[in-house]
Amino acid sequence: MIAILCGPMTDARAQQIDRFFSQGVDAYGTTPGITVLSRLRPEYEPPGIRADGFVINTNLAQGLGYDSNAIGQPQAKPSLVVQTEASVSARSDWGRNSLKFNAGMNSRQYPAQSQQSTLDWNAAVGGTYDIGRHQAGLDFSHIKSAQTPRDLSNPLLTAPVPYTVDSVQSSFTANFGRFALVPSLDFGMWRFDDASQSRTPLTLSYQNRNVLTTNLVGRYAASAQRSLLIILRGVQTRYVATVSGQPSRDSQGVDVLAGVEYSAGAVWRYRALAGYQTRQYASSAFRPLSGPTMEANIIWQPTGLTSVTGSALHTIADASLTDNTSYTLSQVRLTIDHELRRNILLQVRGEADSAVYPQNAGSATLYIAGASATWLVNRRVRVIASYDYTHRQSGSSSYSESVTLLRVGFGL
């Protein structure tokens, strides 16, 4: 039996704008241009450990809460949820060149619905080497995660399905004053474990694939936060296993995008990428898919203590359906952060995702709303209380879920 699954990692696809543009400014106080999240608070930041030119940071967080629908199904089954998070990172503080390492884990256990429990982890190592005014970069990463019944369009899942992603990224940045040319190469190997759903074994090797992405980026920096981008990208996907009687799902595509980053005084910051995507498939059973793509991020800072961040994404995403290889993903997010006091941070957030499948294969929508309060007790301890509500509609199937969680974090 083959499950009908949809690609789980919408967040991963929304990272392009952060990769190609600057990550924001870190500074102290309420200086214009400093958001609530980027503001440095040295009296509440873990000091880290210095060792032979490296700064090492570790974090541990333990959470306890209640999930109204731990199984992600229309017929809700609740459970307590016990969440454990841990991470360690090390980065060099050399004047030239760099080396970094980070690893983390996230355990989410449901005592009343143990089959829904997951243990995700990741590890990455990479660095840069300066060659005059130019720079070469190389990164390796491993991710172990799982598709779950809560994902955008997984109504047929009854339990998590583990998968791994191993990737290598290489790049070279050639700097010519304000202009930079950045060729890069990304190679990722996606591997899915076989699983069991409602005591029925599932063979998921048909999802195993290798993805090769080549990028050529031209960037012009008019100032520290005012820049223009042109991106040419080629994407090649090869599935390493075939399903008897099913056409090949291999594909290749070309993306062309233009981007702009602009700060309007101390109040507004705009970042946007827009262009056109195409996907051509090896089998004539799949029609070519093409269309506009965009990703935008806007930050509004009405005061030094409040930041409003809005983002939008529209792109072609890889699917895990047996009769469709890709779908159109649209996503909008709105987050409001407020510094009530120096050590008390409040947040409200909302998100809407939509997946539309070609060849009249249906659609799915996901709505998320949440709020949290963070108390920075001191440099090593923080307490976070959060509430999130999720509603998904996939064809005639729908489910709702509320999660209340209290976490205590410790850092070095």
Alpha carbon separation from 223 to 202, 226, 227, 228, 263 (Å, rounded): 53, 5, 7, 10, 10
Q: Phi-psi bin for 352: left (phi > 0), alpha (psi -120 to 50), beta?
A: beta
H helices within 9-124, ranges in order?
Answer: 10-13, 16-20
The overall average pLDDT reported for the chain is 87
130 lies in some domain: yes
For residue 181, give the amino acid letter.
Answer: L
Provide the number of structural domains found in the chain.
1
First CA to last CA distance, the chain: 48
Confidence check: pLDDT of 247 > 90? no
1 lies in some domain: no
User: Which tokens go with 407?
Assistant: 């976490």
Residue 1's pLDDT band (cuts 50, 70, 90): very low
3 lies in some domain: no
176 lies in some domain: yes
2 lies in some domain: no
Beta strands in 357-396 (DSSP E): 363-376, 381-394
pLDDT tens-digit profile of 369-387?
999 999 999 999 999 999 9
Q: What is the spatial distance between Cα 274 and Cα 292, in angstroms, rounded to a whole number?
A: 7
Which SS3 state, helix, strand or coil, does residue 206 take? helix
- Structural domain harbouring 357: 10-47+56-411
197 lies in some domain: yes
Which SS3 state, helix, strand or coil, does residue 45 take? coil
Query: By C-alpha distance, which of 127, 91, 120 is closest to 105?
Result: 120
Q: What integer pLDDT is reported at residue 69 of this predicted model?
A: 94
CA atoms within 13 Å, Cβ hemisphere of 395: 9
Beta strands in 319-343 (DSSP E): 326-341
Query: By C-alpha distance, which of 186, 231, 134 is closest to 12?
Result: 186
Query: By C-alpha distance, which of 270, 222, 319 is closest to 9?
Result: 319
Q: What is the spatial distance between Cα 374 and Cα 381, in angstroms, rounded to a whole number?
A: 11
User: Which tokens go with 57?
Assistant: 């940071």
Query: How does DSSP classify residue 11?
Result: H
Q: In this structure, what CATH number is given to the domain that contains residue 181?
A: 2.40.170
Listed in sequence order, the residues at least 6 apart from 245 whose beta carbon sits closer than 8 Å to its beta carbon are none
With contact defined as beta carbons under 8 Å apart, do 128 and 135 qualify? Answer: yes
Alpha carbon separation from 347 to 7, 174, 373 (Å, rounded): 28, 40, 6
Residue 33's pLDDT band (cuts 50, 70, 90): low
329 lies in some domain: yes
Q: What integer pLDDT is reported at residue 324 of this predicted model?
A: 58
What predicted TM-score, i.e. pTM, was given to this entire model? 0.85
With contact defined as beta carbons under 8 Å apart, do 64 and 79 qualify? Answer: no
pLDDT tens-digit profile of 270-316?
889 999 999 898 888 888 888 999 999 999 988 889 999 999 999 98
With contact defined as beta carbons under 8 Å apart, do 252 and 216 qualify? Answer: no
283 lies in some domain: yes
With contact defined as beta carbons under 8 Å apart, do 265 and 282 qualify? Answer: no
User: Which tokens go with 289?
Assistant: 């898919």
